[in-house]
């Protein structure tokens, strides 16, 4: 069955049910004009219950295919987010790890680009990355090679430049990022592996290391 026909069928059925329900309500109200409002509402609820249940059933059937579509969209968003985060942190990730920043904080720093950049910038970077990935894929290049290619580096530099600019303008940025770092560290800290650690001190130190490395890249 054509997709348009499948979409139209529940919509047409809902429209028919809606009209039938309205006609029934109007007729019942006219036929029972002597009833007070409370009694009329109570009786109408009984009279129209089956029709409301039918409408709900049709709505559920119409929405049955929606979850798969939503999952695909969510997957696309997550993939887009991951690409931009990886490009953003490419220059400084290894250095950040060498400073002893806890592994759970790396992703927090990488993903922080998404609450500094606006949607227009995110879409522009996504288009550039997608084109580069497609081109690199045709050439047989792996992900790291694409990241370190000349156009890949240009995208990284562009993202970092916007990040630093927006970071300097956002008064609440430091607090928000530190809160996210704190949450990640509390969740992932393992004293048997990580030893003794003051969470607040580690968050402050990690933030300073991140900013220092970020500002060092011109």
pLDDT tens per residue, range 148-202: 999 999 999 999 999 999 999 888 999 999 999 999 999 998 888 888 889 999 9
Q: Are 109 and 96 in contact (CB under 8 A)?
A: yes
Burial of residue 51 (number of CB atoms within 10 Å: 0-12, 13-18, 19+): middle
Look at residue 1 in the predicted model and tell me its pLDDT: 44
- For residue 149, the model assigns a pLDDT of 95
Structure tokens at 170: 């956002």
Q: Do the beta carbons of residue 139 and residue 212 sit within 8 Å?
A: no
100 lies in the same domain as 11: no
Domain boundary residue, one of 64, 89, 108: 64
pLDDT at 4: 45
Same domain as 82, residue 46: no
The segments of the chain whose pLDDT lies below 50 read 1-8, 67-79
Q: Do 98 and 206 reside in the same domain of the chain? A: yes
* Number of domains into which the chain is organized: 2
User: Residue 207 and residue 218: Cα distance in Å, rounded?
Assistant: 19
CA 211/CA 218 separation, integer angstroms: 13
Last residue of a domain, one of 12, 29, 64: 64
Within this chain, do residues 156 and 97 fall inside the same structural domain, yes or no? Answer: yes
Judge if 90 and 38 occupy the same domain: no
Supply the range of the domain harboring residue 199: 72-216
- Give residue for tokens 């650690």: 197
Write down the pTM of the prediction. Answer: 0.62
Query: What is the rounded CA–CA span in Å between residue 98 and residue 94?
Result: 6
Spatial separation of the C-alpha atoms in residues 87 and 106, rounded to whole Å: 13
**pLDDT value at residue 54:** 76
Handedness of CA 133, 136, 138, 141 (dihedral sign): negative
């Amino acid at each position: 069955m054509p997709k348009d026909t499948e979409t139209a069928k529940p919509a047409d059925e809902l429209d028919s049910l809606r009209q039938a329900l309205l006609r029934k309500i109007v007729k019942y109200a006219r036929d029972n004009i002597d009833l007070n409002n409370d009694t009329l509402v109570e009786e109408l609820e009984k009279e129209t219950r089956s029709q409301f249940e039918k409408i709900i059933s049709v709505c559920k059937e119409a929405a049955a295919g929606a979850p798969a579509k939503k999952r695909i969209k969510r997957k696309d968003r997550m993939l887009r987010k991951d690409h931009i985060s990886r490009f953003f942190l490419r220059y400084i990730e290894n250095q950040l790890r060498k400073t002893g920043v806890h592994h759970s904080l790396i992703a927090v720093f990488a993903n922080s680009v998404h609450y500094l950049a606006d949607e227009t910038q995110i879409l522009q970077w996504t288009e550039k990355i997608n084109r580069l990935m497609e081109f690199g894929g045709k050439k047989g290049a792996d992900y790291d090679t694409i990241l370190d290619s000349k156009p890949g580096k240009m995208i990284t530099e562009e993202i970092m430049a916007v990040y630093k600019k927006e970071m300097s303008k956002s008064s609440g940025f430091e607090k928000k990022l530190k809160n996210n770092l704190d949450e990640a560290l509390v969740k992932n800290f393992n004293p048997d592996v990580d030893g003794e650690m003051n969470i607040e001190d580690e968050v402050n130190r990690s933030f300073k290391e991140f900013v220092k490395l970020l500002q060092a890249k011109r």
